[in-house]
Chains A and B, each alone.
Chain A
């Protein structure tokens, strides 16, 4: 009876989702996104505050206060002094996310008391953007190929351990990932017709992406050639007629995008050119930080070319990468066949024959007017391309190329769809119920490992590596970066300091910022009487967050505290994350 009901439910669901992609798919995408958001919210308190979050919390508070000032005393807020005072802090990054962090904290924590921890309220916009990226990935995959592709892509993206880690933070890496895929998606939709709405949306979304993080500077490198290729015939016809006919979406991106960027960042309202120039130069000449790769500490150029491929292999679940490989081969074959057919037609045309396909062309894949494969390829290549350049700093680990991951997931989703279709073809005699079971087993086999690995990696998402390289211990064996940002002090407190540190003990907090430590105390994560100090010699307790270049701090503690034996070590799968020393 139960089986019959389940079977009927599946059949009904399939009927409901057998039509064109539409509002129901947004319901599905939203549901997956909300589930992901709920998971992020439930785990957020386990994660300490990284260095950068400390700065962004502070900036967010200032920016939100300015917006309140604008609403209450508009003309005062618009004075240059008031703007520079509020927005001058942390102006190396644009304002959108920090503004949202601040507004979220003010409304959801301070005013409406919906979130008991201020930090969770600060982080909520970042988590929401992560959820939005999952939603967009689903809808994109469903529209580009089918719902199975979209669903598997969304899940495989959400279940990347590094994405899950960064999705918790009040930072910009996951938000720009969300904006990148949204920008690509909206651009893709805009190429389908002459809708001014979609074209305008491209400009607005691109402006918001610019206002999210500077990765957005690269988006046109993917979108412009794609749009020109899609509209090549119209452009050629226009040129032949003596006019330049550019796609509306590109015009919108070029005009509306910068306007949105300018409008939402009050810091640029004065000395605009000089301040934009400073912002650009800051990132083009960004200093290098230390990071370990294959046992070597890199602190300047040249960056190793193998960094990105090795880190992707070491941090993205193998089954996801394998599906990405299947999807890539499929798209490459389709592309090559189209190219072959085009070349044949061209040759015939040159030879004076017909340019239309003939029987000798074989089974030519249908033409995709939106050139989806080209768009995905360009978007992926542009997101990862800079990390093959020797001058590009690598200190961010994997987070700086995360905009590539929804696209990687989309192609992996396509790979999953091919595998599922192949399984269907191999099992033609299965009835609907058994086929549903078989497909369920396939889904489980593909999703189980990414889910287990991702869930287990948290909150040590920067220390954890995938089973392909031996997990966390395998990553340590390879000499891959253990962590950065000093956020694991919270784990040291929860596991040891809060119960063992003497009352009022001065604690050397190492890589943790004062702001982060103070907030962990305010929220009861770290005992309030423990006093942070900046030198091991001043401390009774000392922390060292293990990274290769932080060994020097470790040795300094040995001398300052007179012992080389930690009192306690926070470990993940047996790998040291934080050592806690206590003065003898």
Chain B
């Protein structure tokens, strides 16, 4: 019994004194800053350390694009910044090429065995230059307003830069908590009036159109809402359609665009749903 008591005391002392100090994080940050390219992923492990990673590494390295990544497939390389020997699940199956220790912080470099480079990212196309949004025959103008946000249950922040539609609809880039409460940077496009049409101008096509869609976690976790359908087309040619049902979370989809590979066309996305509070968000990119 005394041994157990003393063991517990020793374990407590070891645990409270094993926190990675700020200087270790800073050393790791300086290393990653010199190594990471724009197209690389920087991720933190374990997941609960992510706020610390964002604070120590700053928004230039821990960008919202990296933090709210749709999936890992677009990144050729990843820098995994870890404490407590944790691993980020996104690099599972990748090849480790380097590992450096900075005191209590470890930086591992991973190579993606099969990266799928992005040709055109629709999330980056949100703005009046490349996107036209409409509800029925009414256009939704682009505005520079103030973001709208709230506390728990409000839903994703409505970005200041957005297309606003009559009847309360809008389209803009936000960050949504998916069903697992993971950050997803995506095109927030709730079909408030039942439908929304987004026409992206001059999209450069590759062999596929790959994306994900979801609803804000509290809108889909009770599995009581109507499904949301997104359909992609070029001119009168349908590329594909996919339905998101409550409870499916951050759901991937992929359509074959081999026939359009190498071309530049206007791409239309029609979003429809018959339900209320369909706080829908999607991302898609040509590959």
**Given A535-B149, A553-B151, residue A576 in contact with residue B48 (CB < 8 A):** yes
Contact (Cβ within 8 A) A574 B52: yes
Binds B, one of A171-179, A252-260, A318-326, A398-406: A318-326
Which residues of chain B have C-beta atoms less than 8 A from A471's C-beta?
A: 11-12, 15-16
Contacting residue for B6 out of A416, A448, A549, CB 8 A: A448
Contacting residue for B150 out of A326, A446, A556, CB 8 A: A556
Binds B, one of A103-111, A266-274, A473-481: A473-481
Binds B, one of A211-219, A226-234, A558-566: A558-566
Binds B, one of A22-30, A243-251, A449-457: A449-457
Q: Bound complex: CA of A39 vs CA of B217, how far in Å?
A: 43
Q: Bound complex: CA of A431 vs CA of B159, how far in Å?
A: 78
Which residues of chain A have C-beta atoms less than 8 A from B6's C-beta?
A: 445, 448-449
- Near A by CB (< 8 A), chain B positions 210-250 give 216-218, 221-222
Question: Is B80 an interface position by the 8 A CB rule?
Answer: no
Contact (Cβ within 8 A) B8 A574: no
Binds A, one of B169-177, B195-203, B252-260, B262-270: B169-177
Chain A proximity of B59: nearest CB distance (Å): 4
Q: Bound complex: CA of A453 vs CA of B5, how far in Å?
A: 12
Contact (Cβ within 8 A) A565 B152: no
Q: Bound complex: CA of A468 vs CA of B15, how far in Å?
A: 10
With a 10 A CB-CB cut-off, give which of B11, B13, B57, B59 has the most chain A CB atoms.
B11
Question: Is B31 an interface position by the 8 A CB rule?
Answer: no
Question: Is A505 an interface position by the 8 A CB rule?
Answer: no
Q: How many B residues, CB 8 Å from partner?
A: 57
Contact (Cβ within 8 A) B15 A448: no
Question: Is A238 an interface position by the 8 A CB rule?
Answer: no
> B176 — nearest CB in chain A belongs to which residue?
A555
Chain A proximity of B192: nearest CB distance (Å): 19
Chain B proximity of A532: nearest CB distance (Å): 12
**Given A564-B54, A574-B20, residue A534 in contact with residue B150 (CB < 8 A):** yes
Contact (Cβ within 8 A) B183 A467: no
Chain A proximity of B61: nearest CB distance (Å): 9
Chain B proximity of A488: nearest CB distance (Å): 14
Binds A, one of B34-42, B62-70, B115-123: B62-70
Contacting residue for B181 out of A473, A548, A563, A568, CB 8 A: A548
Question: Is B2 an interface position by the 8 A CB rule?
Answer: yes
Q: Bound complex: CA of A565 vs CA of B60, how far in Å?
A: 9
Chain A proximity of B177: nearest CB distance (Å): 4
**Given A510-B151, A551-B183, A559-B175, residue A323 in contact with residue B15 (CB < 8 A):** no
Question: Is A557 an interface position by the 8 A CB rule?
Answer: yes
Chain A proximity of B131: nearest CB distance (Å): 18
Contact (Cβ within 8 A) B5 A556: no
Question: Is B114 an interface position by the 8 A CB rule?
Answer: no
Question: Is B58 an interface position by the 8 A CB rule?
Answer: yes
Which residues of chain A have C-beta atoms less than 8 A from B62's C-beta?
A: 564-565
Q: Mark A522-555, 1 if CB is under 8 A from B, else 0.
A: 0000000000001111000000001011111111
Q: Mark A351-375, 1 if CB is under 8 A from B, else 0.
A: 0000000000000000000000000
Contact (Cβ within 8 A) A560 B149: yes
Q: Bound complex: CA of A416 vs CA of B149, how far in Å?
A: 55
> A561 — nearest CB in chain B belongs to which residue?
B147
Question: Is A53 an interface position by the 8 A CB rule?
Answer: no
Contact (Cβ within 8 A) A569 B15: no
Question: Is A461 an interface position by the 8 A CB rule?
Answer: no
Question: Is B46 an interface position by the 8 A CB rule?
Answer: yes
Contacting residue for A552 out of B86, B147, B152, B222, CB 8 A: B152
Q: Bound complex: CA of A319 vs CA of B1, how far in Å?
A: 7
User: Measuring CB to CB, which residues of chain A are less than 8 angstroms from any residue of chain B?
Assistant: 297, 299-300, 317-319, 322-323, 326, 416, 419, 441-442, 445-449, 452-453, 456, 466-468, 470-474, 476-477, 482, 510-511, 534-537, 546, 548-560, 563-569, 571, 573-576, 579
Question: What are some 22 contacts across the A-B interface (CB < 8 A)?
Answer: A317-B8, A319-B1, A319-B5, A441-B2, A445-B5, A452-B13, A467-B8, A473-B15, A473-B84, A536-B157, A549-B181, A552-B156, A557-B149, A558-B67, A558-B175, A560-B149, A564-B54, A565-B54, A565-B55, A566-B54, A566-B55, A574-B52
User: Measuring CB to CB, which residues of chain B are less than 8 angstroms from any residue of chain A?
Assistant: 1-6, 8-9, 11-13, 15-16, 19-20, 46, 48-49, 51-52, 54-55, 57-59, 62-64, 67-68, 83-84, 86, 146-152, 154-157, 159, 174-177, 181-183, 216-218, 221-222
